[in-house]
Chains A and B, each alone.
Chain A
Amino acid sequence: MMLSKRLKLTAILCSILTLIVGLSLIQVHNYQQQIYRQLNYSMQLQLSIDSLRSQLWLYQEYTDKQGLVELNNRQAELAEKLSQDIDWDVQQKIIIQNLNRLNTNVRALINTQNSHHDTDVDDNVTLTAERLFKAKYSMVIEEMTEEMFNLHQLSIKHAKSKQQTLLWLVGLVLLVLTTLITVWSFMTLVRFRQGLYSLNQGMQALASGDLTSRIVFSDDDELSALASNFNNMKHSLTQITVKKDSLKQEVDRQTHKLIEQQDRLIFLAEHDELTGIYNRRAFIKKIDSAIARDLRSDDQAALLFIDLNKFKQINDTLGHSIGDEVIVTLAQRLLGNLRATDIVGRLGGDEFVVWLDLIAEPIDIDQKLTQLLNIIKQPINIGPHTLEVGASIGVSILPKHGLSSRELISAADTAMYQAKADNSIEYCYYAGDHGISTLASS
Chain B
Amino acid sequence: MTAAFKKCVFTIINISLLCCIISCDFSAKSTSLKATSKEPITIAVSNTPLSAPFFIAEKMGFFADNNLNVELVRLDGGVKCFNALINQQVDFATASETVVMFNSFERTDFSVIASFVESDNDVKLLSLTPDKYRQLNHIANARIGIVKGSASEFFLDSLLIMYNKAHLPIERIYLPQDQLIPALLNNKVDIISAWEPLGYMLSEHISQKPEIINSRGLYHLSFNLIGLKNTSVNKNRKLALLKAINDATVYIHTHPKQAQMILSQALNITPSQLQYSWDDYTFRLSLSNALFSNIQTQSQWAIDTQLVPKENQVDFRQVFDRQLLETFNNQEAGW
Contacts and interface: CB of A to CB of B under 8 A. Distances in A.
Interface in A1-35: 1
Interface in A163-206: 172, 176, 179-180, 183, 187, 191
A109 B290 contact: no
Nearest to B118: A143
B306 interface: no
B332 A129 contact: no
Given A108-B218, A176-B13, A180-B9, A142 B288 contact: yes
B297 A128 contact: no
Nearest to A116: B164
Interface string A87-98: 000110010001
Nearest to B120: A105
B333 A157 contact: yes
B120 A132 contact: no
A407 interface: no
Chain A binding site: helix, strand, loop or mixed by DSSP?
helix
A179 B13 contact: yes
B296 A135 contact: yes
A142 B288 CA distance: 7
Interface in B155-179: 158, 161-167
Q: Which residue, B164, B215, B297, B333, has most C-beta atoms of chain A within 10 A?
A: B164
A321 interface: no
Nearest to B282: A98
B9 A112 contact: no
B2, B220, B296: residue with the most chain A Cβ atoms closer than 10 Å: B2
B164 A143 contact: no
Contacts of B120: 101, 105
Nearest to B166: A125
Contact of B253 (A90, A146, A147): A90
A140 interface: yes
Nearest to A121: B164
A115 to B, nearest CB: 6
B2 A129 contact: no
Contact of A153 (B217, B218, B333): B333
B253 to A, nearest CB: 5
Contact of A139 (B214, B215, B216, B220): B220
A133 interface: yes
Contact of B162 (A133, A145, A176): A133
A310 B24 CA distance: 134
A177 to B, nearest CB: 10
Interface of A: 1, 90-91, 94, 98, 101, 104-109, 112-113, 115-116, 119, 121, 125-126, 128-129, 132-133, 135-136, 138-140, 142-143, 145-147, 150, 153, 156-157, 160, 172, 176, 179-180, 183, 187, 191, 218-219
13 contacts: A1-B3, A94-B253, A104-B216, A104-B217, A109-B162, A115-B163, A116-B163, A132-B158, A139-B220, A142-B289, A145-B288, A150-B284, A160-B334
Interface of B: 1-3, 5, 9, 13, 17, 118, 120, 158, 161-167, 214-218, 220, 250, 253-254, 282, 284, 286, 288-290, 293-294, 296-297, 304, 329, 332-334
